[in-house]
Amino acid sequence: MTSARRLFAAALLFTVAACSQVSPPGGAQPGLGAQAFGTRQNDEVLALATYQGGVYAVGNTKGSLYAPNRGDTDVFITRVGSNKRTVWSRQFGTPNADEAAKVATDTSGNVYVFGQTGGALARALRGSSDFFLRKYTAAGSTVWTRQVGLEAGETPLDLRVTGNSVYAAGRSGGEYVIYRYTSRGSLTGTALLLRLPNVKAFGPRRVRARR
């Protein structure tokens, strides 16, 4: 087993073990086991989220894990149910490097993947990389994809879903920003939190994001 596959197995084993500490309705334990998967190329799990006794895993692959590789690093997402079986998996990307960073679910079971892309995933690339945010239904259908950036190298840092709002936080060059989207994919606000290296120049203040 390659080191990448061992990473997959260890990461998922840790997460599903944590999931088993929380009883679903009725008191039954999910009882998920380790799920190992991967290709002969470089694969890695970057983030995990739980839903109804199962787990979502997102990460990156340089191989053809669930679809033909687009040319560099692709993003993947897979859903494993409480019955230990894979419910669905997806792989997507551009001919350039694309990387997942965070994953989160809402109360309806929809799942959001936040990361960075080096290509035109949802619109023309600006700068060296852009943020992307993609929404899937619980059944694995793509609902929408958004790509946004401030003409600098983007580094995704965190993702939160609260009610009908989706908050994606990251670093754009020397600035830390938060994007707020509705569950329908509309960008409703952008806040500048901190500008480096002058740590005294922090907000929030609204900045114009280039969509």
Q: How does DSSP classify residue 80?
A: E
Nearest alpha carbon to residue 89 among 101, 100, 75, 103: 75
Q: For residues 95 and 172, is the Cβ–Cβ distance under 8 A? A: no
Q: How does DSSP classify residue 27?
A: S
pLDDT in tens, the chain (211 residues): 444 444 443 344 344 434 433 433 334 344 445 566 777 777 889 999 999 889 999 999 998 988 999 889 999 999 999 888 999 999 999 999 999 999 999 999 999 999 999 999 999 998 889 999 999 999 999 999 999 987 778 999 999 999 999 999 999 888 899 999 999 999 998 877 766 554 333 333 444 454 5
Q: Are strands 54-61 and 165-172 parallel, antiparallel or unpaired?
A: unpaired
Q: What is the value of pTM for the model shown?
A: 0.77
CA 17, CA 32: separation in Å to the nearest integer?
7
CA distances from 73 to 35, 82, 116 (A): 22, 29, 11
CA 126, CA 120: separation in Å to the nearest integer?
9
CA 61, CA 100: separation in Å to the nearest integer?
10
Q: Output the pLDDT for position 38.
A: 72
Instruction: Give 6's contacts (C-beta < 8 A, 6+ positions apart).
Output: none
Beta partners for 114?
102, 133
Q: Output the pLDDT for position 199.
A: 38
Q: Output the pLDDT for position 5.
A: 43
